[in-house]
Chain A
Amino acid sequence: MTRNRLIMVLTVAVFLTGIVLFPVVNGKPVWCQEPAAVMTLESTEIEDEEAAGDAVTITAEQVEEARETTSDRIYGLVGLWALIAVVIYIVRFQVKDDERLYRTGYYNRDIE
């Protein structure tokens, strides 16, 4: 008991000292020193018509264009449905196999 109390008192003392010392030590950031202020120069970009950057403004027409149901999208969709159909077909195999396991008495189906 005495030992526990001693540990408690010590912990509190350490934390209190920490709280008092923290602002003192932390007054100045120690991880780096700010570099001296530097001189900066104003620079103007030379106009360039060829530069192929992303369009700055997008119009409502472009958005509508992006929403169009293109043939690519339909092919992709058909592909997705085909894959889904195949996977469902395989899952149904599993279901049938489960039925078989049930019939052979592998497990029962009563609510406990």
Chain B
Amino acid sequence: MRLKESLLSRRDFFTGLLGGGLAALAGFIGYPVVRFLFHRKKIPLPKGVTIAMTDIEKMAPNSAAYFTYGNLPGVLLKTETGELRAFSAKCTHLDCNVQYRPEEKKFFCACHDGYFDDQGLNIAGPPPRPMDVFSVEPGEENLVVRYQEESKHT
């Protein structure tokens, strides 16, 4: 069967055509704008950092101290036996900085009451995974701390 009139009026057709044209133009103009906005600065992490042993010797047993690792905050833990462990100080829940509680031997995140033990394992509260671990190599003068890519639990 043939319809007497077109379902689509002449006017609607032109309006649709115009809308399409303007949308194409908007896309063409929008591309550079989106690329511009989504530019991210490249800030690589350092290969490693060194910390003077003389500074570490000043730390009391069963205490923690903070250091910068590129743009990351790091936390160095000296256990009661003098063992050194280094972690990223960012809580794995929502990136708040953790604090060490010597009396409990736990890392505590005050933002949402998250707990990690002195090995960095998430033991209570919302943190979904253990803290990121740095490798530590004690030397004569300096402690070399390195971020371990594989330690980043996902």
Chains A and B touch each other in the complex, with CB atoms below 8 Å apart: yes
Binding site for B on A (CB under 8 A): 32, 35-36, 38-48, 51-54, 79-80, 83-84, 86-87, 90-91, 93-94, 97
List the B side residues contacting A47 at CB < 8 Å.
Answer: 47
List the B side residues contacting A51 at CB < 8 Å.
Answer: 44, 46-47
- Could you tell me the distance in whole angstroms from the C-beta of A15 to the nearest C-beta in chain B? 36
- CA gap between A14 and B99 in the complex, in Å: 42
Q: Which of A35, A41, A83 contacts B24 (CB 8 A)?
A: A83
- How many residue pairs bridge A and B at CB < 8 Å? 92
- Let me know if B65 and A43 touch, CB within 8 A: no
| Least CB separation from A40: chain B residue | B66
A interface SS class: mixed
| Least CB separation from B63: chain A residue | A39
Q: Which of A38, A45, A87 contacts B49 (CB 8 A)?
A: A45
- Let me know if B65 and A40 touch, CB within 8 A: yes
- Let me know if A53 and B17 touch, CB within 8 A: no
List the B side residues contacting A41 at CB < 8 Å.
Answer: 51, 55-56, 65-67, 76
- Let me know if A35 and B70 touch, CB within 8 A: no
Could you give, for residues 41-84 of chain B, a 1 whenever the CB lies within 8 Å of some chain A CB and a 0 otherwise? 11110111111100110010001111111100010100000000
Could you give, for residues 17-56 of chain B, a 1 whenever the CB lies within 8 Å of some chain A CB and a 0 otherwise? 1100110110011000000000001111011111110011
| Least CB separation from B100: chain A residue | A38
- Let me know if B56 and A45 touch, CB within 8 A: no
- Let me know if A79 and B18 touch, CB within 8 A: no
- CA gap between A6 and B126 in the complex, in Å: 52
Determine if B11 is an interface residue (Cβ-Cβ < 8 Å): yes
B interface SS class: mixed
| Least CB separation from A38: chain B residue | B66
Q: Can you list 26 residue pairs at the A/B interface with Cβ under 8 Å?
A: A32-B110, A35-B99, A39-B59, A39-B64, A40-B67, A41-B65, A41-B66, A41-B67, A42-B52, A43-B67, A43-B68, A43-B69, A43-B74, A44-B49, A45-B48, A45-B49, A46-B49, A51-B44, A54-B41, A80-B28, A83-B28, A86-B21, A86-B24, A90-B17, A90-B21, A94-B18
- Could you tell me the distance in whole angstroms from the C-beta of A45 to the nearest C-beta in chain B? 4
- CA gap between A86 and B25 in the complex, in Å: 10
- Could you tell me the distance in whole angstroms from the C-beta of B57 to the nearest C-beta in chain A? 11
Determine if B2 is an interface residue (Cβ-Cβ < 8 Å): no
